[in-house]
Amino acid sequence: MILAATTNESLAHTSNYLIYSAMAVYLLAFFAHMAEWILGSRSKVARTAAALTADAAGQDGAGTVKVRVAKKGGGTAVLERPKVVTRSSAGNRDVPDGPGAAAGDVKGDLYGRIAVSFTVLAFLVEAGGVLTRALSVQRAPWGNMYEFNITFSTVAVGVYVTLLVLKKNVRWLGLPLVTSVLLDLGLAVTVLYTASDQLVPALHSYWLWIHVSTAIFCGAVFYVGAVATVLYLFRDRYEAKLAEGGKPGSFATSVLERLPAAASLDKFAYRVNAAVFPLWTFTIIAGAIWAGDAWGRYWGWDPKEVWSFITWVAYAGYLHARATAGWKGRKAATLALLAFGCWLFNYYGVNIFVNGKHSYAGV
């Protein structure tokens, strides 16, 4: 018994060490991402801006934007960018995707690859921290807010890495993702930290693995969709200003021109939210079944249950508006962010500030 307790304590210390180590590596990834954005060639960004504002004389009959670039041996070469339709709402714009954070520059791309490498390393280290935490308590590692936080950030980065492995154009997510993960882990190890302990009897169920794991995964994907939505709002405003003949500042041009077109960001956010919504539906159903086993009722209007349902309604309204009313662009983005705000309050607000049956986990 004493040996087992000593082993569990050692594993808990190892978990803490790995989480702090992951934070250090994420910090290196943050600086590398910053270098990617800062050192990426601005000249290629300027060429993209020129393509964005090209008039009809600069497009061929197929709607392809032609951009001339200098060749090393003298002369010029013509690069053709395929037409990209931003949205079907009023004020259609044909805008190409940006060149990415590195702006196609060799130096910027090098720092971007370093950033991704650090991010993957930090992900593996943090995953090790979550695993050793689970081994130290001999249960699923999400019995309190601290464990939920470290698992949530691990899964969020895992979603990002998976999209990269699938060759999706999501490296622009790297900087906001790593920044928020650092904030999340900082909050976890300072305010929310809870020593390893066993669960209350109501949580000793296989539904803990099913219900909470799906909730964490859904939250991670919703987060990715929310980041894309926020960036869409900035990019859409920028494109609208250019279309009206305005001249945004050099900082806005340098940053926003490297992102995908507003249409691409809008489509990406919609797809990830739509893809994970059925799983969020299952999460609520699984929670109701678990509540029936643990408390003898499937629904009791507990604050966590209520806000989970409110979140479901908000995302359902967003998806319904896009599918039936044809909402796209800023109106749909507002609904999406409102829905994610509901999820955030369900995640932090209900657990910390509202008393209910789900308050047993502590903070």
Rounded CA separation 319/101 (Å): 30
- What was the pLDDT predicted at 281? 96
Low-confidence ranges of the chain (pLDDT < 70): 1-6, 42-93, 197-203, 325, 356-363
pLDDT in tens, 188-208: 999 888 887 666 666 677 888
What is the per-residue burial (b if ≥16 Cβ within 10 Å, else e) of 78-109? Answer: eeebeebebbeeeeebbbbbbbbbbbbbeebb
Contact 56, 107 (CB under 8 A): no
Tell me the residue length of the chain. Answer: 363
Rounded CA separation 54/59 (Å): 7
- What was the pLDDT predicted at 54? 55
Structure tokens at 344: 């955030």
The residues near 178 (Cβ < 8 Å, ≥ 6 apart) are 26, 29, 30, 33, 115, 119
3-state secondary structure of 99: coil
Rounded CA separation 29/36 (Å): 10
Contact 241, 248 (CB under 8 A): yes
pLDDT in tens, 63-108: 444 444 444 454 544 444 444 333 434 445 678 888 888 888 888 8
Structure tokens at 59: 């497009």
- What was the pLDDT predicted at 29? 97
- What was the pLDDT predicted at 62? 42
Structure tokens at 43: 């000249």
pLDDT in tens, 263-282: 999 999 999 999 999 999 99
